[in-house]
Amino acid sequence: MWSACHPKSEKELSECGQLGKSLSRLTQPSILSVLAKADKPVHGYLIIQEMSSGPMFNGNAPDPTGIYRILKQMENNGLVTSEWDTSESGPAKRCYNLTDEGRACLRRWVDALACYAASIQDLRILACDALDIPVPEQPTCMKELEV
């Protein structure tokens, strides 16, 4: 069954303005959340794996180039620190750690996300009203998860 959360193809996404596929604004709080849950510094590949298993990406890996670019910006802004891990065989890996400023930023994101959720719900109501259809209690993608 088609839904915005589980489109059949990239073509379906592109035909409807991407349907918020990337939600690039929400990448930073996703990264911050992964790092906040970690009990040790995490390298970029593991951050990407964790994000891909979350609700935003639904099993699809986010663009690694974009993630590393955002991590660099976050480091420049003091939200994360990084260091090279050369302890394992193979190439060195840059590992990231959340700073106190990053943790405070994630707390602010919690409020911002609540505001986004309220605005999105208002927009859903407006769209359903414009289409003269009832507002679904649950999106199709959430119903599919119950099966």
- 95-117: pLDDT as tens digits: 999 999 999 999 999 999 999 89
CATH number for the domain spanning 47: value is 1.10.10.10
Examine residue 128 and state whether it is found in any structural domain, yes or no.
yes
For residue 140, is it within any domain?
yes
The per-residue pLDDT for range 54-109, each reduced to its tens digit, is 877 777 888 899 999 999 999 999 999 999 988 888 888 999 999 999 999 999 99
Whether 13 maps to a domain, the answer reads: no
DSSP conformational letter for 23: -
Residue 99 lies in a domain: yes
Quote the domain boundaries for residue 142: 21-146
Q: Is 1 domain-assigned?
A: no
Does residue 72 lie in a domain region?
yes
Q: Residues 19-41: what's their mean pLDDT?
A: 83
Residue 10 counted as domain residue: no
Residues 59 and 53: beta-carbon distance below 8 Å: yes
Report how many domains make up the chain: 1
Residues 6+ apart with CB under 8 A from 130: none
Domain assignment present for residue 110? The answer is yes
What does pTM read for this prediction? Answer: 0.76
